[in-house]
C-alpha cells in the first residue's frame, strides 16, 4: 500500500503573477520535492487543476474560466475519487487556489464584524460544498495544508521557492529538538496563556508576558527566537506585520516580522491564537499597516519553519481559561509533538474539539463554529517533526477483523495511515450528523439579560465598559449527542455505522451579546462575547465570556 500526496495549483493564475522563467523554477522545485517524497516512500502527484492534459490522466474535467473555489473543490473531489490521497497540498495563496468565503457564524457588526470567513475547510471536507449547509464544510475529514506564495501582481517567487526547499529537505527531529520554546501571551490573558502552556506539558514559568515583553523592551524574547516550538497568544490585525500584547489600555507590539529576519531556526513549528494570525497578505497592499513589511507567517516559513497554525480572521480566545482558538491551536501543537504529521494534527484538533464538546452534553456554539472554519495550516501537511510511535496499532485495532488484513503489530506506516484516514472520514460523517439546527428567534424572557447584568458586576470579567445591546438568540435543536469514540464504537464507525442512532432531540436557547470598544492602538480589535445557554424553560445551564485576539 502506498502513501499518496496530492499537490494542486492553478497554472494560469501563477502565470499572471510570475514570468515564464520563474514558472519553470517553480515547476523544477516541485519536481524536486516529488522526487524527494518518492525516496520517503510517498507517491506525490502534482496536478494543475486547469491543465486539460494533466486532469485527463485521472478522468477529471479541468477547471476552466475563472477559478472559483467551487470549481476547484469539484475538481479536487474528482482527484480524490481517482487517487484517494493521504495528504492534499494547495500550492499558492488565495489568488492562485482561492479560499472559500463562508458566512461568519458569530457575525455581529457591534463585535465580530467579519461578514465572511476565508477558509480552506471545504477542501478538507469530502462532502460536496453547499453554501447553505454548514454540514458540508464545518467539520473536516481530509488532511490539508496550504503552501502559500505572496499574494499580489508581481511577487518575488523566492518566497515560494524557499519554502518548497524546506518541504523537500525536511527531516525527522527528536523530542530534544523541541525542548526549548517561545511562549508569549498578553498580560490581560495570562491565566489562559498559562493553561495553554500546561496543556503542552510545559511549565507555565516559560510563558513570557506582554507587556513587559515588547519589541521595545524584548527582555528574554530574542534568545527564544531560536526555539523550535512557538506559541503566540496575542492580538493580531489585518494587513499587519505585528502581533500585539495588552495590559489595560496599552497594546504594545511584541512580535514584528522585520525583527524575525534571520532568527528562525529550521524545523520550527508555530501556533498563533492571534486574530488574522495565519493571514497571508500582499506587503505592497496600499492598505497595509506599513507597506513592504512581510506577513509574519510568510517570513517564518521562508526561513525554514515547517508549519504555521493560525486563523484567517478575528479569533475568539479565553482570558481566564482555554477557549476556541486556544484549544484548536494548542491541540495541533501537542499532536505534532506526539508524532502526528502537521496536517493530521490540524484535522484531529478540529474533530477532537467537536467530540469533546459533545461529551460535555452540548453543541459547538457560534464562536466554536467560526474557530473550526478559520483555523488552518500553512505548510506541507505531510511533514512530521518527530517520529510516529511505532507500532501505534490504535486505529487498526479499532477496525473489524477482515480477511487479508494484517494484525495491528504487523501493519506498516502506509497501511496504518490509510486506516487512520478512513476512520477520520467516518468520524467526520458522524460528527456532522450530530450538528444541531439553529434558528434565530426573539428574546423570550429576561432571565438571560439578568444573568448578563450580574456578570457585568464582576470586575475581573471587565464587561461593564463595553455597553452591550440586545442579544442574538438562537433556538438550538440537536439530535441526542454522541458518546465518546472508544475502541468498540470505532469498530462500528469503521464498518460504516453510527455509534448510537439519535433517538431523541434536544432543544436549548443560546443568547449572545457582542460589543467592542475603541482603543488607542487602532489596529487592535478589543471585543467581548458573552454567551448564556438556557433550557426550554429559561433555566440557565452555563455562561461563557470570550475575548477577540
pLDDT value for 527:
96
Domain identity same for 382 and 251: yes
Q: Are residues 172 and 317 in the same domain?
A: yes
pLDDT at 449: 82
250 and 302 housed in the same domain: yes
Regions in the chain scoring below 50 on pLDDT:
392-406, 408, 481-494, 496-503
Structural domain contains residue 71: no
Residues 316 and 175 in one domain: yes
The alpha carbon of residue 256 and the mean position of all alpha carbons in its chain are separated, in whole angstroms, by 22
Among the candidates 393, 410, 445, a domain finishes at 393
Total-model pTM:
0.93
- Around 147, how many Cα atoms within 13 Å sit in the side-chain half-sphere? 32
Any domain includes 221: yes
pLDDT at site 271:
98
Q: Is there a contact between 340 and 348 (Cβ–Cβ < 8 Å)?
A: yes
| Separation between Cα atoms, residue 29 and residue 14, nearest integer Å | 14
Flag whether 407 is in a domain: no
Helices (H), 220-316: 221-224, 257-260, 296-302
What residues contact 524, with CB distance under 8 A and at least 6 apart? 235, 237, 244, 246, 251
Point out the domain boundary residue: 393, 428, 461.
393
Q: Are residues 384 and 447 in the same domain?
A: no
In a domain, 487, yes or no: yes
The answer to whether residues 289 and 358 belong to one domain is yes
Count of domains for the chain: 2
- pLDDT of 480 reads 56
Residue 150 within a domain: no
Give the model's pLDDT for residue 446. Answer: 75
484 and 373 within one domain: no
**Sign of the four-CA dihedral 272, 273, 277, 278:** positive
Q: Cβ contacts of residue 537 below 8 Å, gap of 6+?
A: none
**DSSP SS3 for 507:** strand
Q: Are residues 259 and 378 in the same domain?
A: yes
256 and 337 both lie in a single domain: yes
DSSP assignment of 47-78: EETT-HHHHHTTT-PPP-SS--HHHHHHHHHH
Choosing from 393, 409, 425, the residue where a domain stops is 393
Residues 165 and 305 in one domain: yes
Q: Is residue 70 part of a domain?
A: no
Say whether 273 sits in a helix, a strand or coil.
coil
Tell me which residue of 283, 274, 361 sits closest to 310, measured CA to CA. Answer: 274
Q: What is the pLDDT of residues 408-446, one digit of tens each?
A: 455 677 888 888 889 999 999 999 999 999 999 987 767
CATH number at residue 383: 3.40.50.1460
Confirm whether 168 is domain-assigned.
yes
Full DSSP string of 518-539: --SSTTS--EEEEEEEEETT--
Q: In this structure, are 389 and 442 located in the same domain?
A: no
Q: Which residues contact 299 (CB under 8 A, 6 or more apart)?
A: 257, 260, 261, 264
Q: What is the DSSP string of 132-157?
A: T-GGGTSS--S-EEEE----SSS--T
- The pLDDT of residue 395: 45
pLDDT tens-digit map of 85-131: 999 999 999 999 999 999 999 999 999 999 999 999 999 999 999 99
In a domain, 13, yes or no: no
Q: Which domain holds residue 190?
A: 158-393
Interaxial angle between packed helices 325-337 and 342-359, expressed in degrees from 0 to 180 and rounded to the nearest 10:
130
Give residue-wise pLDDT tens across range 450-473: 899 999 999 889 999 999 999 999
Do 312 and 450 reside in the same domain of the chain?
Answer: no
Q: What pLDDT score does 504 carry?
A: 62
Amino acid at each position: 500500500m502506498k502513501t499518496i500526496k496530492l499537490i494542486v495549483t492553478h497554472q494560469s493564475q501563477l502565470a499572471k503573477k510570475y514570468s515564464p522563467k520563474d514558472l519553470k523554477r517553480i515547476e523544477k522545485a516541485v519536481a524536486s520535492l516529488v522526487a524527494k517524497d518518492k525516496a520517503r516512500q510517498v507517491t506525490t502527484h502534482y496536478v494543475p487543476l486547469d491543465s486539460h492534459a494533466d486532469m485527463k490522466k485521472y478522468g477529471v474535467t479541468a477547471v476552466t474560466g475563472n477559478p472559483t473555489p467551487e470549481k476547484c473543490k469539484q475538481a479536487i473531489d474528482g482527484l480524490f475519487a481517482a487517487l484517494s490521497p493521504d495528504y492534499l497540498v494547495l500550492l499558492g495563496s488565495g489568488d492562485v487556489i482561492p479560499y472559500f468565503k463562508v458566512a461568519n457564524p458569530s457575525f455581529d457588526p457591534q463585535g465580530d464584524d467579519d461578514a465572511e470567513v476565508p477558509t480552506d475547510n471545504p477542501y478538507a471536507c469530502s462532502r460536496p460544498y453547499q453554501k447553505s449547509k454548514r454540514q458540508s464544510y464545518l467539520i473536516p475529514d481530509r488532511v490539508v495544508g496550504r503552501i502559500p506564495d505572496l499574494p499580489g501582481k508581481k511577487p518575488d517567487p523566492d518566497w515560494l521557492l524557499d519554502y518548497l526547499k524546506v518541504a523537500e529537505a525536511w527531516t525527522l527531529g527528536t523530542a530534544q529538538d523541541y525542548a526549548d520554546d517561545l511562549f508569549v501571551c498578553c498580560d490581560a490573558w495570562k491565566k489562559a496563556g498559562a493553561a495553554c502552556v500546561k496543556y503542552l506539558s510545559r511549565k507555565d514559568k516559560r510563558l513570557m508576558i506582554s507587556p513587559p515583553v515588547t519589541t521595545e523592551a524584548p527582555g528574554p524574547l530574542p534568545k527564544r527566537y531560536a526555539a523550535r516550538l512557538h506559541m503566540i497568544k496575542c492580538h493580531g490585525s489585518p494587513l499587519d506585520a505585528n502581533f500585539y500584547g495588552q495590559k489595560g489600555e496599552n497594546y504594545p507590539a511584541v512580535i514584528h516580522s522585520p525583527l524575525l529576519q534571520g532568527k528562525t531556526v529550521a524545523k520550527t513549528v508555530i501556533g498563533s491564537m492571534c486574530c488574522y494570525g495565519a493571514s497571508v497578505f500582499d506587503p505592497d497592499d496600499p492598505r497595509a499597516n506599513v507597506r513592504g513589511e512581510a506577513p509574519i507567517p510568510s517570513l517564518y516559513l521562508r526561513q525554514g519553519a515547517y508549519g504555521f497554525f493560525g486563523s484567517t480572521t478575528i479569533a475568539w480566545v479565553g482570558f481566564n481559561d482555554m477557549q476556541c482558538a486556544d484549544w484548536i491551536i494548542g491541540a495541533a501543537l501537542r499532536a505534532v509533538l506526539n508524532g502526528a504529521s502537521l496536517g493530521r494534527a490540524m484535522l484531529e484538533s478540529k474533530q477532537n474539539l467537536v467530540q469533546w464538546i459533545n461529551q460535555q452534553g452540548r453543541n459547538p456554539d457560534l464562536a466554536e463554529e467560526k474557530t473550526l472554519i478559520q483555523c488552518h495550516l500553512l505548510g506541507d501537511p505531510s511533514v512530521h517533526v518527530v517520529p510516529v510511535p511505532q507500532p501505534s496499532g490504535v486505529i487498526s485495532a479499532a477496525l473489524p477483523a477482515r480477511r487479508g488484513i494484517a494484525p495491528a503489530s504487523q501493519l506498516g506506516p502506509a497501511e496504518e495511515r490509510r486506516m487512520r484516514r478512513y476512520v477520520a472520514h467516518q468520524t467526520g460523517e458522524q460528527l456532522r450528523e450530530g450538528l444541531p439546527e439553529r434558528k434565530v428567534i426573539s428574546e423570550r424572557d429576561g432571565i438571560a439579560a439578568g444573568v448578563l447584568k450580574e456578570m457585568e458586576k464582576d470586575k475581573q470579567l471587565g464587561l461593564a465598559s463595553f455597553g452591550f445591546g440586545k442579544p442574538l438568540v438562537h433556538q438550538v435543536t440537536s439530535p441526542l449527542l454522541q458518546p465518546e469514540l472508544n475502541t468498540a464504537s470505532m469498530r462500528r464507525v469503521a464498518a460504516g455505522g453510527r455509534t448510537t442512532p439519535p433517538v431523541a432531540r434536544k432543544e436549548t436557547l443560546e443568547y449572545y451579546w457582542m460589543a467592542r470598544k475603541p482603543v488607542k492602538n487602532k489596529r487592535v480589535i478589543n471585543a467581548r462575547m458573552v454567551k448564556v445557554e438556557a433550557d426550554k424553560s429559561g433555566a440557565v445551564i452555563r455562561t461563557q465570556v470570550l475575548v477577540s485576539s
